[in-house]
Amino acid sequence: MKIHIKNGRVIDPASGRDEIADVFIAAGRIVTSDSSTFHANRTIDATGLVVCPGLVDLSVRLREPGFEYKATLESEMLAAAAGGVTSLACPPDTDPPLDEPGLVEMLKFRAKNLPGPRVYPVGALTQKLEGKMLTEMAELTEAGCRAFTQADAPLTDTLVLLRAMEYAATFGFRLWLRPQDVMLARGGVAHDGAIASRLGLPGIPALAETVALASILQLARETGARVHLARLSTREGIAMVQAAKAQGLAVTCDVAATHVHLSENDLIGFDSHLHLVPPLRSLRDRDAIREALRDGAVDALCSDHTPVDEDEKQVPFGESAPGASGVELLLPLTLKWAREMNVPLPRALAPITCQPARILDIPAGELAVGANADLCIFDAHAEWVVTPTSLASQGDNTPFLNHPMQGRVRYTLIDGHIDFESAR
């Protein structure tokens, strides 16, 4: 299909391009042409809209196999496309976990035959995510895994982590690790501070992140492994990663969009939709995350999309299942942060396009001639309200229910096909 996108504000954070221009697509690629010689099958008038690379989300739980009662592959692929996401990484904490090549190949085959984004599985670091025996990383890589992680499953044996880093460094595999000391975090459901004490909620101290992070960084320094630190939540943790980068360590990091806008102060109403992993931290931590994202110390912003069955949220806060649905809110929450922090739009889009694409090491996140025609076309000023009916995801467990948003995806193009078109 040949598509002509005309008169849009074309923003390509990878190259710094920001201009009113036309984009031409043929055979699934961005091509160079002009309107007088290009005969399109479909013309999209993008006047007043932003045309940018499709979003790249580093953490989207598709819930299959094993958790279809929470969400299905079909529903979450549609939700991702509705959010402007054209490439996503899915964690391995399914049932069974993604610890065998056959499971990875099955997931990729099913995803490829559905409309929606390109799916890049992240393989289990240890068998069954039990933290004991390493998986066959080479075989999983051949099956399509882009990196390896424990997701939120504990890895208490430091020797296993050392062996994993040695092996990964030898063969060039990437490890994605969420730093949290299991013992320090045991039983906690909220940030260990004044709010948790007042509400009677067991706390998870900031030390749970920084102690684990210190071990990870020291092991990375010794082995030379490439490590991505997932979902940082504390001011001290971000400072430690900044220092590690300055010392030349091959580390990157991301934060979740919820943690850019919310803090422990929002827990006052005991809303279980705010039960997240890692927990919402102090205002000081939230502000540090916002500034680090603006200054480039944080490499990527992700949705950490975790659809949960409503019955698992309609219980007391401490008994509820953690997680929030957010893949459709990644763009508006990014735009909200950019407005509040006076960040120019091209710079604001980088942590959700070209920068996560580099972390995943995939050909995405740019609008160069010859690149895959994966695009997001959105109205930066469109106002809407988050409701269960306005979300395509099967999980409507979001802290932003009934909140107004600004910024709405109008079209999502994947491989030159229109996979999502808003009814406006």
Q: Tell me which residues are annotated as active site.
A: 304
Count CB-CB contacts under 10 A for residue 2: 16
CA distance 25 to 23: 7
CA distance 311 to 317: 12
Gap between the terminal Cα atoms of the chain? 23
Contacts of 276 (CB under 8 A, 6+ apart): 256, 258, 259, 304, 322, 323, 324
Q: Which H helix or E strand runs over 380?
A: strand 375-385
Which of 351, 324, 327 has its CA nearest to residue 119?
A: 327
CA distance 286 to 265: 11
Q: Residue written as tokens 């949705």?
A: 303
Residue ranges with strand state E in 54-107: 55-57, 85-90
Q: Coil, strand or helix: which one is 48?
A: coil
Which of 254, 220, 262 has its CA nearest to residue 237?
A: 254
Q: Six-digit token pair at 27?
A: 């055979």
Which of 351, 230, 226 has its CA nearest to residue 290?
A: 351
DSSP class of residue 318 equals G
Q: Residue written as tokens 């670091």?
A: 125
